[in-house]
A and B are shown apart, each in its own frame.
Chain A
Amino acid sequence: MKEHYHHELPQATWTHWIPVALIVLVSLLYLYLYFRCLRKGGRSTFLQVGSFLMGTLLLTIALWPSVMNWGHSDLRGHTVQHLLIAMYAPIFLVMGSPVTVVLKAAPPAWSRKFLQLMKSPFFKFLGHPFTAFILNIGGMFVLYLTPLYVRSLEDPVIHYLIHVHFLLAGYLFTWSLIGPDPGPKRPGFYTRLLVIFLSIATHGFLSKLIYAHEYPRNSPHPVSQIQQAAKMMYYWGDLSEIILLIILFTYWYFNKGRPQQNLSIIRKKTNYTK
């Protein structure tokens, strides 16, 4: 069974470029829709465009054929891919509000239909931070603690599906916590904070489990490589969750400040002292 890992990986053929091509296509589509919005009289926010393109850039790096090969043969490579696809890229993609861009460019009837659809109990359940958390971190527990990881090395279909799951679950998780895009109704600040707390804790716990018990079991990776990968997962994972926390608290700061600030401005303007 382990012989598989010793033979040379196939040279990159055009099929290996499909993920990168898809990402480039999505970026171009985003830009096209964005400029159409602008022409319709939408507000321009270059930060938003930059954020989305940064997200697609990170995805491109993660899915570049040579990085894919690295991730296939080396758990550290796999970890870098995972961090980029499931944790860092989603932050930038979500902050680029792609759904808003699509809705603004689409016919109004579509947008109305979309918003109506988002009111359904199913999407409300799916968009809840806790559901997203389970899909995100639960998927990782299953991948590393069961034989699934070793199966994914042998079966390219499972391999691709896992990457797709990483991206979708990571995106959903990030959106449910800090997403500016419209969607199903989400719980407020304290629930989201609790979910980030659980996420940091379980992510760190899983990293240390991997380090301590040399998961994934029966993989071709040497112990030192697994331990290095676990440490990368721990520290770089932390940093991405710190970014989530800072964005969440920034929202808190501005939402809390709004009425207060208005009051102080009014007070200054009118010299109202009592």
Chain B
Amino acid sequence: MDIKIEPSAKKSMWAAALIGIGVMAAVDEIIFHQILAWHHFYDRSTTDIALMTDGFLHAAELIAIISGFFILLDLQRKQTLVKDKAWAAFFIGLGGFQLFDGIVDHKVLRLHQVRYVDNLLPYDIGWNLAGLILLGTGLILLRRAKRRKTNGPSA
């Protein structure tokens, strides 16, 4: 019987990415909907189908955060959590969702805009740049984690 503990990098990364995606969606809802009120809870142009998709996305986001958190707890208990890769995936999740929201939702599907003003361009650039920076941070962290693994003992 082999009970050697194998670090599960892939699982760590998936769980952390789930949290990243969910957290970014929640940040979008809390900061931009609630605090700044740049986008609205509902605006007249929203169709009932969009309201329904909204509901499903929101449900998925809550489950993503909570399930990711519990999977990480489980990995931690089994001592198979790869922390540095998890952090990398968390940032990739944050940035990936921000970019996806900025490009696909805002521009391709035109579900809603960042802010309802005449000159939208600076807002779009800011939004997607923030996404790129977060994604870049994640990718750099991932490279560092991989290098650390090949060079020396893993953290």
**A contacts, CB < 8 Å to B:** 193, 196-205, 208-209, 211-212, 231, 234, 238, 241-242, 245-246, 249-250, 252-253, 256-257, 260-261, 263, 267, 272, 274
Contacts and interface: CB of A to CB of B under 8 A. Distances in A.
A248 to B, nearest CB: 9
A197 B63 contact: yes
A201 B48 contact: no
A89 to B, nearest CB: 22
B100 to A, nearest CB: 19
Instruction: Give the interface residue-count category, chain B.
Output: 20 to 34
Contact of B41 (A231, A246, A249): A231
A208 B55 contact: yes
Contact of A197 (B1, B42, B52, B59): B59
B70 A252 contact: yes
B144 to A, nearest CB: 30
B105 interface: no
Contacts of A246: 66
Interface string B68-93: 00100110011000000000000000
A257 B75 CA distance: 10
Contact of A204 (B1, B59, B63, B74): B59
B73 to A, nearest CB: 6
Given A253-B70, A253-B74, A211 B58 contact: no
A223 to B, nearest CB: 13
Contacts of A196: 59, 63
A76 B44 CA distance: 23
A201 B51 contact: no
Contacts of A252: 70
Contact of A200 (B3, B42, B62): B62
Nearest to B70: A249
B46 interface: yes
B67 A249 contact: yes
A231 B37 CA distance: 14
Interface of B: 1-3, 41-42, 46, 48, 51-52, 54-56, 58-60, 62-63, 66-67, 70, 73-74, 77-78
Nearest to B66: A245
Interface core residue of B42, B46, B48, B55 (most chain A CB under 10 Å): B55
B58 A212 contact: no
Nearest to A212: B42
Contacts of B62: 200, 238, 241-242, 245
A51 to B, nearest CB: 21
A261 to B, nearest CB: 8
A209 B63 contact: no
Contacts of B54: 204-205, 208
Nearest to A200: B59
A210 B97 CA distance: 29
A197 B60 contact: yes
A201 B41 contact: no
Given A197-B63, A256-B74, A257-B74, A267 B55 contact: no
Contacts of B58: 200-201, 204, 238
A203 B48 CA distance: 14
A271 to B, nearest CB: 13
A274 B41 CA distance: 58
The 5 closest A-B pairs by CB, nearest first: A200-B59, A205-B55, A201-B55, A204-B55, A201-B59
Given A253-B74, A257-B74, A211 B42 contact: yes
A212 B55 contact: no
Contacts of B48: 209, 212
